[in-house]
Amino acid sequence: MSTLLAVLTCPERSTQSLLAAEALRKAAKQLGQAIRIETHTAQGVQDPLSEAEVSAAQQVIRVGASGSDARFAGKREHLAALEAVLADPQAVLGAALGAAPVAAAASQTLSIVAITSCPTGIAHTFMAAEGLTGAAEALGHRIKVETQGSVGSQNTLSAADIAGADLVIIAADTQVDTSRFAGKRVFMSGTKAAINDGKALINNANASARLQAATAGGQGSGNAAAGAATGSKERSGAYKHLMTGVSFMLPFVVTGGLLIALGFALGGIYVFDDAHKGTLGWTLFNIGAKASFALMVPILAGYIAYSIADRPGIAPGMAGGMIAGAIGSGFLGGIVAGFIAGYAVKYLNEKIQLGRNFDGLKPVLILPLLGTTIVGLLMYYVLGQPVAAALGVVTEWLKGLQGSSALVLGMILGGMMAFDMGGPINKAAYTFATGLIASQVYGPMAAVMAAGMTPPLGIALAAVLFKNRFSADEREGAKAAGVLGISFITEGAIPFAAKDPLRVIPSLVAGSALAGAISMAAGCELRVPHGGVFVLPIPNAVTNLGMYIVALLAGTALSAVLLGVLKKTPDAANV
């Protein structure tokens, strides 16, 4: 049996480090495992490891590590928090003895666990899971993928799944809690990489993944995963934080919009008047408007802050969102409050060090209190009113749009929805339109949903009208794309765009731009930010329904015709 090495690097907590070293020695003795421990204290390095010991050892535990240690390149490493060692040294040793090598051979069969997630939790989540599953099977690896979709987690990873994994892949566009993967090799990317080229993602992850450090008390933070390699800078910055907030906000917007629409259907457009008080329509309207809609901005702000600072950021973020609603700065104020709260709490968490005995007060008392105070004062005295004024200007401008101005805005929003079909540009247009619902501006939402339905519907229609432009497999796939299209899942068009982007994407952008332009120019409004054609029969969910259907049909037809003209005929063998 080789000697296990341990390095404790917590010089600011020398006493606890010495206690942890002794705890590891006793636990190793009970397990019959030889161990050598190097401890970094304020007084210097105690019992330093020799070059011979490092060279001979195969495994090392690094406690309180804040970076790589060149001495242990190629060794089996396990990262652990000082608190974890003090709480259960035997568990830390057990995890270390089962840790996977840092640089696993690319040719070996891997046991992989993965998580996929996207802001809406519908298409990209499951397409990424399919991409990873198919790629792993093709490469000869075992994989289990947990999808964190709109209906919650499915195919959930068990403790045994994680314990036996050689590699963890997080393919997500939103915040994912990685605390379960302490001591594992973790690689993080967006969903797009898994959808477009799952094999390349897995190979890249196997080569670049880093050990995930444990966090105090087992409470992990997805964005605090210091050891996790990241495959996309875009997903680890403001975009990811914003999309996390949007993903949590969407159920409130959808529910509130549907309840308001049902209230109008039962009691008419003046159902909110006191004359209807107590009726079912009045009650449903108030549940939607004063409960679900009232929570939209606080939830948006709270979960932006959560994405940045983990759980301690939720209370300051939501408080800032409530203030944003109260002073009239709406969703723009909520976004500002969320980012202020998140980065303020993250900064405070890094700078405030209270020692082991008092660190437990930080997440439940100190950070929420200071964070809420900071964001509240800034919103009331500095940022709230300017943001409210800016939102007011935008709102009045949008409400006053007519003729060519409305047409141009609809064209721009429509084109954005089809340009990357669920990517950052698509989500920017969708987030803009969804946020405006809180300000009673519903026109952009109508344009965005019509434009988002058009790409997959255009492909489905083209496959029927121009069969010679599509292979047998593509014609079969077009049927599924049509179903996704009527459900407002733009991502159904992605496989077709990926095969022939230079011809397909311009065709889809043109059709979506036309649909958005007609919708905006006709003054169509939509109170429900999702649901596709299934919300159209609800009275008052869509205003000017006839022209809205015209917009959808016109955009679909234009995309189909352009696809028929631009797409090349596939090889005869594939027809």
The residues assigned a catalytic role are 118
Q: Which amino acid is at 520?
A: M
Distance CA 222, CA 436 (A): 29
Axis crossing angle, helix 501-521 with helix 545-566, rounded to the nearest 10? 160
The three-state (H, E, C) secondary structure of 382-400, written as one string: HHHHHHHHHHHHHHHHHHC
DSSP label of 151 = T
Phi-psi region of 183 (alpha: psi -120 to 50; beta: other; left: phi over 0): left
Sign of CA dihedral 520, 526, 527, 530: negative
Helix (DSSP H) and strand (DSSP E) numbers for the chain: 23, 14
Burial, 206: exposed, middle or buried (Cβ in 10 Å; 0-12, 13-18, 19+)?
Answer: buried
Q: Which amino acid is at 159?
A: A
Phi-psi region of 167 (alpha: psi -120 to 50; beta: other; left: phi over 0): beta
Q: From residue 372, give the alpha-carbon distance in Å to each of 294, 324, 376, 528.
A: 19, 13, 6, 32
Q: Of 451, 529, 520, which Cα lies nearest the Cα of 485? A: 451
Q: From residue 283, give the alpha-carbon distance in Å to each of 261, 262, 271, 472.
A: 12, 10, 9, 52
Distance CA 242, CA 119 (A): 9
Residue 39: strand, helix, or coil: strand
Which residue bears the tokens 């049902």?
262
- Check if the beta carbon of residue 52 is closer than 8 Å to that of residue 19: no
Distance CA 344, CA 358 (A): 20
| Bridge partners for 61 per DSSP | 6, 78
Strands (E), 2-118: 4-9, 35-41, 44-46, 59-63, 76-80, 111-117
Distance CA 143, CA 520 (A): 46
Q: Of 211, 215, 151, which Cα lies nearest the Cα of 185? A: 211
- Check if the beta carbon of residue 296 is closer than 8 Å to that of residue 357: no
Hey, what are 224's tokens? 């605090």
